[in-house]
Structure 1
Amino acid sequence: MVNFLLCCDWGTSFFRLRLMNASDYQSLGEIHSQTGIAGTFTGWQTRGASRGIARDHFFRQELKKQIDRLAEKVAMPLDGIPVVISGMASSSIGMEELPYATLPFAVDGSQASVRHFDAQADFPHEIMLISGVSSDQDVMRGEETQLVGLIALLQLSGDKPQEAICIFPGTHSKHMAIQGDQLVGFDTYMTGELFSLMAQQSILKDSVDTSLLAHLTDSDKEAFRRGVRRSGTSPILNSLFTIRTNQLFDKLTKKQNALYLSGLLIGTELNPLLQQDNWSLVLCSGSNLSIFYELALAELNLLHRTITIPPDIIDLVASIGQINLFQNQTAKVTAK
């Protein structure tokens, strides 16, 4: 059994690498940067392809730089430790494009679509590259690995529900439906991206102030709740314009208006859950969004059937999922 793993979450614009103890899920050190897949792919096109460097080799070179950074930080040699990569590294602009796994998808990761790369002389690490999951009308890369880690933790604690919708907030929020030991469906909501577009590039940008949203007064929270309530009573395309009139008629401050906008969008995302009253909910939010989703769930009277996972645990679930995926895939190969 492998004692240590290098767990890499490589997104479109973000890179994170952790050294993990595989036996107890402890992080022994990590680094992160903005060296995302998009920038790395562009780098290969401009500096690698023209010189005859294979794409996977170019990605290994960039990954080796990051591994060397982490080795220096943790003050130990990392040669020979396998690397597990999830996120956009398996996409059309990644290290190698892999096909998606399909539904139903076993939540232990045993049906994941993966690709193994052997260690090389200039890259002394085995690599396991993890692909995403697709349905008939939706796709994800990376969130399925978070789900595998989350389910592993819920099983350890004895808190895993038989039927649940796991909510992963973010730029593109994911709602994942779990029945028994399988992911049976999921939906993507462009909540975070739409908030950024409305607040930064639309006619509403002069009506909101997003600079101080980490510090909320009771009045601020009430403005957010007003947005959540409005999301259930009026179509979103009409409701969005009320942000403009809130400012014109001095109904809310610009900060409160930003929170009202957030409430509108998060409420619109969560309203469909009111029709799924037989399902438990599992909120899997990082620290920057947890308060908003908890406020919205409470306003919609959904908090009583919600399991809330602490943000510090959510920060680790991708790495825990990678460990479980690596161990399950290794066991499958050994059993053949």
Structure 2
Amino acid sequence: MDPKNTFFSCDWGTSSFRLLLVERHTLTVLAQVSSREGNAAIDKSWQQAKQPPAQRLDFYLGVLQPHLQKLEVIMKMSLKGVPIVISGMASSTIGMAELPYKPLPFATDGTNLQTKYLPPTARFEQPILLISGVKSEDDVMRGEETQLVGCALENTPQLQLFLHPGTHTKHVQVQHGRAVSLTTYMTGEVFSLLSKESILAASVEEGGQLEEGNNQQWFAKGIQDSQQANLLHNAFLVRTQDLFRKATRQENYFYLSGLVIGSECQDLVRNLPARIVLAGKPVLVAHYSAALHVLGIADKVPVEVKNGEDVTIKGQWAVFQGSQMEKEDA
């Protein structure tokens, strides 16, 4: 294998790090490493090290370097000079180099996203393309914009929705080949707080799959109840269902999941797009796909499901191809 036919795909989030060696023509993953060395943890270590601000980038590259070496060991070859494309929180205030957000709208082919080229040096021999996030007047995202590019949505006058579930779920409206609006829902974070930190923590039990036992029925009930009453009332039912032995704690877990996802989707029910592209981690995508079916949304508009890792790679490669860095690399 010729290293010149590869690139590194780096998804560097707040709490996790993933680096993949990817074959350019087929976008096949050849090898990968991951860790919990997210930007939040590295930033904390940086603050504790009390180094000059000018050394911040080198500090982060020092974290990245051992992972590159691991991939060289796995591949049994030198990967010197192979470019790295990084998206996620690495371009934020807690990352290696802060980049300004790209204001909406932006082209969904990735040609006008905000990027920064970091040339190779004697100490770090890989060139880097750092991709920044996107902002509206009152919202932001970092990382999801690259996944949206990787979805290759059609250039059409019809309004399409890119839905990325997560800690802070993103709904991005796309029209005429441009992302035109962005809405964030703190669905994952609210679910985590309710299920782990609130009085409801004693009434739920994590574990099991959506399709096991009665989990799917209780999840669907949570979705349906979310459309009928306020979340702040519905959430307390999780406690009383446990007290009155109406549901097991695992069933309650899925009921609560249905409540928060269903509450998020209220806006979607009222304003249906022409098409929905759902992309993210498989477990979350499965939950949202089920919710869209329970709400009848999937019966009214087409829903396309994509794997988050796949669209990240495709998006990074598309941005790289449209960048000045690609011309220098050719």
Deviation at 1:64, TM superposition (A): 1.0
DSSP-derived class of the 2:174 partner: strand
DSSP-derived class of the 1:171 partner: coil
Q: Does 1:266 align with 2:261?
A: yes
Aligned AA for 1:231?
A: S
State which drifts further: 244-253 or 7-16: 244-253
- Where does the alignment leave 5 or more consecutive residues of structure 1 unmatched? none
Question: What does residue 232 of structure 2 align with?
Answer: 237
Q: Does 1:25 align with 2:20?
A: no
Question: What does residue 325 of structure 1 align with?
Answer: 319
- Aligned partners of 2:111 and 2:326: how far apart in 1? 8
Distance 1:160 1:292, change over 3 A: farther
Deviation at 1:308, TM superposition (A): 2.7
State which drifts further: 75-84 or 129-138: 75-84
Question: What does residue 199 of structure 1 align with?
Answer: 195
Deviation at 1:332, TM superposition (A): 8.9
Per-residue deviation, residues 45-72 of structure 1 (Å, max 9, x unmatched) = 223606x870011111211111111111
DSSP-derived class of the 2:145 partner: helix
- Aligned partners of 1:307 and 1:64: how far apart in 2? 40
1:283/1:306 contact within 8 Å kept: no
Per-residue deviation, residues 96-131 of structure 1 (Å, max 9, x unmatched) = 111000111111111111111110011111111111
- Aligned partners of 2:187 and 2:95: how far apart in 1? 25
Distance 1:199 1:262, change over 3 A: same
- Aligned partners of 2:327 and 2:41: how far apart in 1? 34
In the alignment, which of 5, 8, 14 is matched to residue 7 of structure 2? Answer: 5
Question: What does residue 15 of structure 1 align with?
Answer: 17
Aligned AA for 1:264?
A: L
User: How high is the sequence identity, in percent, across the aligned residues?
Assistant: 39
- Aligned partners of 2:286 and 2:317: how far apart in 1? 29
Question: What does residue 173 of structure 2 align with?
Answer: 177
Question: What does residue 39 of structure 1 align with?
Answer: 41
- Aligned partners of 1:221 and 1:263: how far apart in 2? 9
In the alignment, which of 294, 300, 309 is matched to residue 299 of structure 1? Answer: 294
Distance 1:278 1:290, change over 3 A: closer
- Aligned partners of 1:324 and 1:148: how far apart in 2? 7
Deviation at 1:301, TM superposition (A): 0.4
Aligned AA for 2:321?
A: Q
DSSP-derived class of the 2:7 partner: strand
- Aligned partners of 2:325 and 2:100: how far apart in 1? 22
- Where does the alignment leave 5 or more consecutive residues of structure 2 unmatched? none
DSSP-derived class of the 1:187 partner: strand
Question: What does residue 62 of structure 1 align with?
Answer: 63
Aligned AA for 2:164?
A: F
1:87/1:131 contact within 8 Å kept: yes
- Aligned partners of 1:295 and 1:275: how far apart in 2? 18
Per-residue deviation, residues 224-258 of structure 1 (Å, max 9, x unmatched) = 11110110011111111111111112111111111
Question: What does residue 125 of structure 1 align with?
Answer: 126
Question: What does residue 111 of structure 1 align with?
Answer: 112
- Aligned partners of 2:133 and 2:273: how far apart in 1? 28
Aligned length: 324
TM-score of the pair, normalised by structure 2: 0.93
- Aligned partners of 1:99 and 1:220: how far apart in 2? 43
Question: What does residue 141 of structure 1 align with?
Answer: 142
- Aligned partners of 1:75 and 1:13: how far apart in 2? 29
Question: What does residue 91 of structure 2 align with?
Answer: 90
Distance 1:97 1:331, change over 3 A: closer
Aligned AA for 2:180?
A: V
- Aligned partners of 1:68 and 1:321: how far apart in 2? 25
TM-score of the pair, normalised by structure 1: 0.91
Aligned AA for 2:181?
A: G
1:83/1:127 contact within 8 Å kept: yes
DSSP-derived class of the 1:16 partner: strand
